[in-house]
Amino acid sequence: MQQRILAGIGEVSALTLGGGGLGGVWGPTNRAEAVATVVDAVAAGINLLDLAPGYGRGEAEAVVGEAYGGRLPAGVRVTTKCQLGSPPADEIGAIVRRRLERSLLALRLDHVDLLLLHSNLIPDDFVYPRDAASQDRFATRISLFTDAVLPVFEALRDEGLIGAWGITGVGVPATVIDVLGSAKPPAVVQAVANCLDSPGDMRRYDEAARPRDIINAAVAAGVGVMGIRAVQAGALTDGFDRDVPRDSEDWRDFERAAAFRTLAAELDMTPAVLAHRYALGIDGVATVVLGVKNRHELAECLAAEAAGPLAAELQRRVDETVGRSGRDHPSR
């Protein structure tokens, strides 16, 4: 498998195995199949595992713990996440440490290579248009991040419990971009990387998501980029593996991608292969995080990586099918 440089971390595989599928977020699986998927992924050359306690209430991390019994193969790195919200500043240290310790216990490890803040970063005075009553559960105000969260992450790094820290770049875009360009930027940002430029139902604000601007800002700041949502929660596949409301952003993206599926059939590819090959070619994305839940889906993604990023002309055709014609084109 192709190796790329993830700034702040080092050389990693072009594909990262995500924990959402292993934890049942993207449709049903079972422990034995999830363990087998991890083992096959690593055997195929994937050397970065992107996990979180929220993926199946610890299931994804327990899968990796069972797969390797706390002895990861040489060169394999592991991430985990903390969805913090906006608790009182004096409670943040204890909350982050408690959650990290729980993840380490499930993984059977004494450290992780990367800890990501999985909250939405927002301006201090920002009010979500539809989720204002619950936003303190999923969104972290920027002053709280700077004054309280960042020192905790740096302390954990200095203690050797984490190798580096990063953020998930799905909060208010201007705030995410400000953090990337700050005096103390993260080592890594996870950014939406799909041909729709869509975070789907993760976008809780009204303005545009601006994923390409986030990626470009990260590259300019020397921050590594992990591409997420390559198939946009299933919208860029043949069909969802879970119940999706017809009034959701994910469903609207699925309808928007009808011409994309027609193009994939014309090219004799599955939509998932076409979507992953597109994401692998987005300039600035070092590694694409997979949401697979079984070995069959993994094999499809491995085939996409082996075929390589799309040629420029085919990239443009994909852009045209989803309404990106005339905008910035991905290239590598």
The two tokens of residue 198 are: 């869509």
Residues 6 or more apart in contact with residue 273 via CB below 8 angstroms: 264, 300, 301, 303, 304, 307
Question: Rounded mean pLDDT of 116-126?
Answer: 97
Instruction: Convert the pLDDT of each residue in 52-70 to its tens digit.
Output: 999 999 999 999 999 999 9
Instruction: Convert the pLDDT of each residue in 231-282 to its tens digit.
Output: 999 999 999 989 999 999 999 999 999 999 999 999 999 999 999 999 999 9
Coil vs helix vs strand at 169:
coil
Q: In whole angstroms, what is the distance from residue 203 CA to residue 242 CA?
A: 19
pLDDT the model gives residue 325: 61
The two tokens of residue 280 are: 């692998």
Strand ranges (DSSP E) for the chain?
3-6, 10-13, 15-18, 48-50, 77-82, 114-117, 120-122, 139-141, 165-168, 188-192, 224-228, 287-290
Which overall architecture, per CATH, does domain 3-321 show?
Alpha-Beta Barrel (3.20)
Residues 6 or more apart in contact with residue 39 via CB below 8 angstroms: 67
- Taken in order 64, 65, 68, 72, is the CA torsion positive or negative? positive
Confidence class of residue 174 from pLDDT cuts 50, 70 and 90? very high
Q: How is residue 237 annotated by DSSP?
A: S
The two tokens of residue 153 are: 């992450």
Q: How is residue 10 annotated by DSSP?
A: E
Residue pair 179/186 in contact by the 8 Å Cβ criterion: yes
Nearest to 170 by CA among 198, 143, 147: 198
Instruction: Convert the pLDDT of each residue in 184-235 to its tens digit.
Output: 999 999 999 999 999 999 999 999 999 999 999 999 999 999 999 999 999 9
Environment class of 16 (CB within 10 Å of its CB; exposed 0-12, middle 13-18, buried 19+): buried
Instruction: Convert the pLDDT of each residue in 304-328 to its tens digit.
Output: 999 999 999 999 999 999 998 645 5
What mean pLDDT, rounded, does the chain reach?
96
- Residue carrying the six token digits 């905008």: 327
- Residue carrying the six token digits 């991040």: 145
Could you tell me whether strands 3-6 and 10-13 are parallel, antiparallel, or unpaired per DSSP bridges?
antiparallel
pLDDT the model gives residue 327: 53
pLDDT the model gives residue 324: 85
CA 166 to chain centre: 11
The two tokens of residue 113 are: 């290579």
What pTM value is reported for the model? 0.96
Percentage with pLDDT > 90 across the chain: 96
| 88 phi and psi angles, rounded to 5 deg | -55, 140
pLDDT the model gives residue 321: 96
